[in-house]
């Protein structure tokens, strides 16, 4: 992140003088914010994988003047390990600065069904999938919106290749069923 910011603001960042580079980068960043009157948002997915030192530096980069001047809005997205990580002693200063926490649990079947119905509606074809297929997708998504969307996208890609007007459970079984492995056993049993 620092290297990218350094490139954007033409600040040479050298490992032997991190503080000097940080100061110049912060000055240019503040000047940029004052000239544009906009705040940047940094979205970090899988934040639980970040090293504590990097998270601590994000805290320093995100505000100035003892936290009275916000410079950057940081959104940390991750699983339950992120919550545990933020409870570590070296990250308590960062954890105490988090304004809003939104912990998502596994989505219920009804929540997933509402999501897929909404997505189909805003895509312009609410009747693209049969009700049975939507139910099957919700049953196999394990309460995860990403899994639901990924399975639906895979089905849509296959349906587009085959020029199918409607997606149904038959397509689901063709795409997601394991290959038939019973045929070799029958041949072996016949011997």
Phi, psi of 42 (to 5 degrees): -110, 115
pLDDT of residue 8: 81
pLDDT of residue 190: 52
Q: In sequence order, what are the beta bridge partners of 73? A: 41
- For 106-137, what is each residue's pLDDT tens digit? 899 999 999 999 999 999 999 999 999 999 99
Instruction: Output the six-digit token pair for 15.
Output: 């490992």
pLDDT of residue 183: 52
Residues 6+ apart with CB under 8 A from 74: 41, 42, 44, 58, 62
2, exposed or middle or buried, with CB in 10 Å at 0-12, 13-18, 19+? middle
Measured CA angle at 81 (ends 80, 82), to 5 deg: 90
Strand blocks (E) in the chain: 40-44, 63-64, 69-70, 72-76
pLDDT of residue 52: 93
Q: Is the pLDDT of residue 1 over 90?
A: no
Mean pLDDT across the chain: 87
- For 140-181, what is each residue's pLDDT tens digit? 999 999 999 999 999 999 999 999 999 999 999 999 988 765
Q: Is the pLDDT of residue 188 over 70?
A: no
Given the structure tokens 């609410």, which residue do they identify?
A: 126
Q: How many CB atoms lie within 10 A of CB 162?
A: 9
C-alpha span between 45 and 53 (Å, rounded): 17
Q: Is the Cβ–Cβ distance between 150 and 116 less than 8 Å?
A: no
CA atoms within 13 A on the CB side of 97: 21
- For 24-42, what is each residue's pLDDT tens digit? 888 888 888 889 888 888 8
């Amino acid at each position: 992140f620092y290297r990218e910011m350094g490139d954007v603001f033409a600040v040479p960042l050298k490992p032997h003088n991190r503080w000097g580079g940080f100061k110049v980068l912060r000055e240019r960043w503040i000047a940029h914010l004052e000239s544009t009157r906009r705040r940047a948002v940094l979205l970090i997915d899988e934040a639980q994988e970040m090293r504590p030192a990097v998270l601590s530096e994000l805290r320093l980069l995100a505000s100035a003047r003892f936290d009275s001047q916000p410079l950057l809005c940081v959104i940390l997205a991750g699983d339950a390990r992120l919550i545990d990580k933020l409870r570590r002693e070296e990250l308590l200063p960062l954890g105490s600065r988090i304004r809003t926490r939104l912990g998502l649990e596994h989505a219920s079947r009804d929540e997933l069904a509402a999501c897929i119905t909404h997505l189909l509606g805003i895509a312009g074809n609410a009747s693209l999938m049969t009700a049975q297929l939507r139910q099957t997708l919700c049953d196999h998504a394990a309460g995860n919106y990403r899994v639901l969307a990924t399975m639906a996208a895979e089905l849509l890609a296959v349906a587009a290749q085959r020029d199918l007007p409607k997606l149904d459970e038959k397509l689901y079984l063709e795409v997601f069923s394991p290959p038939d492995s019973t045929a070799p056993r029958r041949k072996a049993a016949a011997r």
